[in-house]
Amino acid sequence: MHTPLADQIRPSTLDDVVGQRQLLAAGKPLRRIIESGKIPNMIFYGPSGVGKTTVARIIADSTSMTLHKLNGTSASTADIRDVVAEVGTFSGMNGILLYLDEIQYFNKKQQQLLLEYMENGQITLIASTTENPYFAVYNALISRSTVFEFKPVPPEELERAVARGFRCMEQQLGETIHLSDGVCGWIARGCGGDVRKAMNTVELIVLSGEHTENGIVISDELAQELTQRSNMRYDRDNDQHYDLLSALQKSIRGSDENAALHYTARLLAANDLLSVCRRLLVIAAEDVGLAYPQAIVITKACVDSALQLGLPEARIPIAEAVVLLATSPKSNSAYEAINRAMADVEEYGAPDFPRHLQNKHFDGAEAAVRGQHYRYPHDYPNHYVRQQYLPDILKDKVYYQFGENRQEQAAAAYREKILREDQT
């Protein structure tokens, strides 16, 4: 059976692990915990291929506890009960270390089965997840664990792992591999900090290399083509998807068109055109808003064009919308105003309308004041007349505050003018 390259070169010591210096360097928290020999319940959180499973295995190998490994995608409640059944037996007398990969796939009942044994120390849990544990893991389990976040591996460190991968492939195939100068760096930069992806790419590139009398020749062009094809996908349901969309919106909000174009390109490279379109429409209303009201009209036109064109041509109107929004003046005044109004609806419900706004013209016998008494603004100068529009309980509320941009200040000046003239 073929063993993937990533498993063949999996580190056996902490010093061999690439990346995660913030956790594993000398004196860092996780390193100290592991070296103490007293392993608490832990949850490793981070993207795929950054060393969570590797570090958990190194910890397991360093203890005298009985090790059990389960995967949340395939383990059942019966599997958990089998682990728990060893508590108090001869095989579990030194404690049981359960390594649970992909814990986010366990339901609440499955996670609760472990709590009692975690509390009394009979089971030590090391769980890993690619999703935010504060959303994906049961709160009671998190409260009994320490969460460590694993980061994508920096390219300069990942490049060392890529070089090791090529050396391992040479030994495995018994052939010399001739690499162009930029191959290792290209793979390291193109794999998004994912060691497993990088190793899979190394294996794919070697198998696709040109076989000559002197060995296997790997060109920069081959590395670029296969790295791009194998590594530009991502799971639209995981944290990376939402991180990309968040980074896009925050870059536009911060008026950095270059960063916004970068994150847009990453989303489009993953063929996620729909998410980009939806987020740009939100940004036009939330972050540009009334500072440039035409922005949402232009963005909608760009989005419609992109959806009709499809990729790759869709990138052109999308880029136009991104640059427009990033370089436009910004205002979130309408966004803040509707949030304040929604908060009052949540608090006060649906109080009665002022009588003169109701869509009825006759009062019942019980009415203290008869007649609608609505004043038609178009019958007055500047098409304005003072009257109450909000319900009585909210009549003095102010939800909208004019922004400081030129567009809203012009509207504020007009409002002040008609109010002043209404008093004369």
pLDDT of amino acid 255? 94
20-149 CATH, one of 3.40.50.150, 3.40.960.10, 3.30.360.10, 3.40.50.300: 3.40.50.300
* Pair of tokens at residue 147: 């969460």
Third-level CATH fold of 239-327: Zinc Finger, Delta Prime; domain 3 (1.20.272)
The string of pLDDT tens digits covering residues 347-372 is: 888 888 887 787 765 555 555 555 56
The string of pLDDT tens digits covering residues 108-127 is: 888 888 887 788 777 889 99
Report how far apart, in Å, the C-alpha atoms of 262 and of each of 104, 193, 314, 380, 417 are.
30, 17, 16, 53, 45
- As assigned by CATH, the class of the 155-231 domain is mainly alpha
Full-model pTM = 0.60
pLDDT of amino acid 236? 56
Residues 148, 168: Cα–Cα separation, whole Å:
31
pLDDT of amino acid 248? 95
The residue among 285 and 232 whose pLDDT is bigger is: 285
Domain coordinates of the chain in residue numbers? 20-149, 155-231, 239-327, 333-423
Asked whether the predicted pLDDT for residue 51 surpasses 70, the reply is yes
pLDDT of amino acid 306? 94
CATH architecture for residues 333-423: Orthogonal Bundle (1.10)
Phi, psi of 130 (to 5 degrees): -90, -5
pLDDT above 90 coverage of the chain, percent: 29
The string of pLDDT tens digits covering residues 298-329 is: 999 999 999 999 888 999 999 999 999 999 99
Asked whether the predicted pLDDT for residue 234 surpasses 60, the reply is no
Centre a 10 Å sphere on the Cβ of residue 343 and count the other Cβ atoms it contains. Answer: 11
Select the highest-mean-pLDDT range: 16-25, 201-210, 276-285: 276-285
Mean pLDDT across the chain? 86
> Average of pLDDT values for 192-210?
87
